[in-house]
Amino acid sequence: QKEVEQNSGPLSVPEGAIASLNCTYSDRGSQSFFWYRQYSGKSPELIMSIYSNGDKEDGRFTAQLNKASQYVSLLIRDSQPSDSATYLCAVNEDNNNDMRFGAGTRLTVKP
C-alpha cells in the first residue's frame, strides 16, 4: 500500500509565527506533489504544487521537496488566524493516475 503520511496535529502556533507542516511518502516513483488547504465544511483548495527538489515560494507559503528523503514540507510565514485549517499533502506517481492524500494536519493560529 502506497502511503502518504502526515502528523494529524493539531498544530497550534501564535499569530505571526512560522507554521511548519511535514509529509512523507512511500512511493519513490512519485513525481508531483501538492499542498491543499481545507477549511471546516469546505472542499480542499490548492495552495502549492512542487515537482523538483528544493524550495518553491509563493507569497507567505514555501514548499520544500526532498525526493531522496521522500519528504515534502510546507512553511507558512507570518501565520494568520485565517490560515487555521486542515492542510492536506497529496502525491501523484509518474505512471499512475490517482492522487493520494495524507490524512491532513490541522493547524490553529491563535491571535
Partner 1 sequence: KAGVTQTPRYLIKTRGQQVTLSCSPISGHRSVSWYQQTPGQGLQFLFEYFSETQRNKGNFPGRFSGRQFSNSRSEMNVSTLELGDSALYLCASRKGGTNTGELFFGEGSRLTVL
Name the residues that contact partner 1, by CB under 8 A. 31-32, 34, 36, 42-46, 49, 51, 88, 90, 92-94, 96-104
Nearer to partner 1 among residue 64 and residue 102 (C-beta)? 102
d(CA 53, CA 72): 9
CB of 20 to partner 1, least distance (A): 20
The CB-based long-range contact list for 35-38 (8 Å cut-off, 24+ gap) reads 35/61, 35/63, 35/72, 35/74, 35/87, 35/88, 35/89, 35/90, 36/87, 36/88, 36/90, 36/101, 37/83, 37/85, 37/86, 37/87, 37/88, 38/85, 38/86, 38/87, 38/88, 38/104
| Residue among 45 and 58 whose Cβ is closer to partner 1 | 45
| CB of 15 vs partner 1, minimal distance in Å | 27
Q: Using the minimum distance from each CB to partner 1, give the nearer residue, 62 or 100.
A: 100
Supply the minimum distance, in Å, between the C-beta of residue 11 and partner 1.
16
User: Is the Cβ of residue 19 or residue 100 nearer to partner 1 in the bound state?
Assistant: 100
